[in-house]
């Protein structure tokens, strides 16, 4: 990468935490949980115009085993909640969750008996996005917030 | 009561009043649509007649309604279409609040199967002789009928289960 010529015989010091978090933050692969119209905006977020690749999140993984960030895009019924939780449980740690749009965050306009009033009722949501549906740049913003969060986490130190 | 019925619909009303005069309750028009209300006990018989003799081969939809009245609270509306006459009308029956029950028409129109299950799911109206009678959308162990007027908008808390938030360790 040309780093060798700049450093010469010298070296850099860092913490393993920082190095790991740097790597994790720039390769947060999304698990697209597209449930409604928000999923269309999520596709635009991954597409060339908004280009999630700039943040290392261009690889939409449809397998929970290979993904780091679940984007819940759309309204979630009680029936669907069990499937979503199952997929969430299948994702390996560390993992993060974005509730995209009004419906995923609060139930939105679906204020009725069949729709879960916010996916935070059964998922640990890290970032909420407002909007109905949110613009793709808002999803990018949420992703950057997740990256900020990842960078402040303790990744190798054990909590005792 | 002055009705402006199209020719095929006039034929329907005439032949129903000729053959089922004591079962025909009301015929009226609203917003350009024609509604025929019949006695619930003649439902299966009249539907069979409509399909076989008047070519109403296509049942577009079945709708349940909660009229929220003290008598004959529930209403079931059959949206019938004749492809031959290009005519559509709505067949209505009323049923009472205590144990609402109607004859199934799923043996006449196969498509009525799921429609009737939906009406049962939302209003609790039972259908006799239905081939596969159970809920269609809501969980089997759900105790309520959500489109009844007395059901709260946001549902009964805890009536539908949310997933377990601690992962299974088995």
How confident is the prediction along chain A (160 residues), in pLDDT tens digits per residue? 677 777 777 778 888 888 889 999 999 999 999 899 999 999 999 889 998 889 988 888 889 999 999 999 999 998 899 999 999 999 998 899 999 999 999 988 998 888 999 999 999 999 999 999 999 999 999 999 999 999 888 877 666 5
CB-based contact B60:B81 (threshold 8 Å): yes
Average per-residue pLDDT for chain B: 89
- Please give the CATH architecture assigned to the domain spanning A30-54+66-151: 3-Layer(aba) Sandwich (3.40)
Pairing of strands B33-38, B24-30: antiparallel
Residue of A nearest to B169 (CA): A89
Chain B interface disruption, residue of A70, A76, A78, most B CBs within 10 A: A78
Q: Which of A86, A112, A116 sits opposite B153 (nearest CB)?
A: A112
Say which of A111, A112, A122 has its CB closest to residue B162: A122
* N-to-C CA span, chain A: 38
The answer to whether A61 touches A69, Cβ cutoff 8 Å, is no
- Give the DSSP H/E element, type plus range, for residue A150: helix A136-151
Between helix A136-151 and helix A38-46 the angle, nearest 10°, is 70
A contacts of B154 (beta carbons < 8 Å) = 111-113, 117
Alpha carbon A9 to chain centroid distance? 39
What number is the average pLDDT over the span B142-160?
88
Q: Domains, chain B, ranges and CATH?
A: 7-128 (3.30.460.80)
Report the SS3 class of residue A69. strand
> By the CB < 8 Å criterion, does B151 face chain A?
yes
DSSP state for residue B78 in the 8-state scheme: E
- Which one, of B132, B98, B93, B92, lies nearest residue B115 by Cα? B132
φ and ψ at B7, to 5 degrees?
-60, -50
Helix (H, G, I), strand (E, B) or coil at A25: helix
CA distance B93 to B64: 10
Q: What is the DSSP letter of A93?
A: S
% helix, strand, coil for chain B, step of 5: 25, 25, 50
HSE-up (13 A, CA, CB side) for residue A62: 1
Distance CA A113, CA B86 (A): 39
Is the Cβ of A78 closer than 8 Å to some Cβ of chain B?
yes
Quote the DSSP letter at residue A72. Answer: E
Task: Tell me, yes or no, if B146 comes closer than 8 A to chain A by beta carbon.
Answer: yes
- Can you give the pTM of this predicted structure? 0.80
For the stretch B8-19, pLDDT in tens is 899 999 999 999
Whether the CA torsion A40, A42, A47, A49 is positive or negative: it is positive
Provide the phi-psi class of A118: left if phi over 0, else alpha when psi is between -120 and 50, else beta.
Answer: left
Structure tokens belonging to residue A71: 């984007």
Give the pLDDT of residue B166.
Answer: 74
Q: What is the pLDDT of residue A17?
A: 86
Which residues on chain B are in Cβ contact (under 8 Å) with A89? 167-168
**Residue A159 pLDDT:** 60
In angstroms, the separation between the Cα of residue A76 and the nearest Cα of chain B is 11
Yes or no, beta carbons of A113 and B162 under 8 Å apart: no
pLDDT at B156: 85
């Amino acid at each position: 990468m040309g780093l060798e010529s700049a450093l010469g015989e010298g070296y850099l010091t860092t913490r393993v935490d920082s190095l790991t978090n740097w790597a994790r933050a720039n390769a947060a692969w999304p698990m697209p949980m597209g449930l409604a119209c928000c999923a269309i905006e999520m596709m635009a977020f991954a597409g060339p115009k908004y280009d999630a690749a700039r943040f290392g999140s261009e690889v939409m993984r449809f397998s929970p085993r290979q993904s780091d960030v679940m984007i819940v895009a759309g309204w979630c019924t009680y029936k669907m909640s069990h499937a979503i939780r199952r997929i969430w449980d299948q994702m390996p740690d560390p993992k993060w969750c974005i509730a995209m749009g009004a419906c995923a965050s609060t139930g939105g306009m679906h204020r009725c008996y069949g729709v879960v009033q916010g996916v935070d009722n059964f998922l640990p949501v890290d970032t909420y996005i407002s909007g109905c549906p949110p613009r793709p740049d808002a999803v990018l913003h949420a992703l950057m917030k997740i990256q900020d969060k990842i960078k402040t986490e303790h990744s190798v130190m054990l909590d005792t | 009561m002055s009705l402006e019925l199209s020719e095929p619909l006039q034929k329907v009303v005439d032949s129903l009043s000729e053959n089922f005069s004591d079962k025909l309750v009301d015929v009226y028009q609203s917003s350009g649509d024609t509604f025929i209300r019949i006695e619930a006990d003649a439902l299966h018989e009249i539907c069979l007649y409509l399909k076989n003799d008047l070519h109403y081969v296509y049942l577009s939809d079945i709708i349940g309604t909660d009229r929220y009245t003290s008598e004959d609270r529930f209403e079931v509306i059959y949206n019938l279409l004749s492809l031959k006459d290009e005519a559509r009308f709505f067949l209505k029956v009323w049923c009472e609040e205590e144990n609402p029950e109607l004859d199934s028409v799923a043996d006449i129109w196969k498509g009525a199967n799921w429609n009737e299950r939906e009406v049962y799911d939302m209003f609790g109206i039972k259908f006799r002789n239905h081939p596969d009678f159970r809920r269609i959308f809501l969980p089997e162990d759900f105790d309520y009928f959500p489109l009844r007027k007395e059901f709260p908008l946001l549902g009964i808390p805890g009536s539908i289960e949310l997933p377990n938030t601690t992962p299974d360790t088995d």
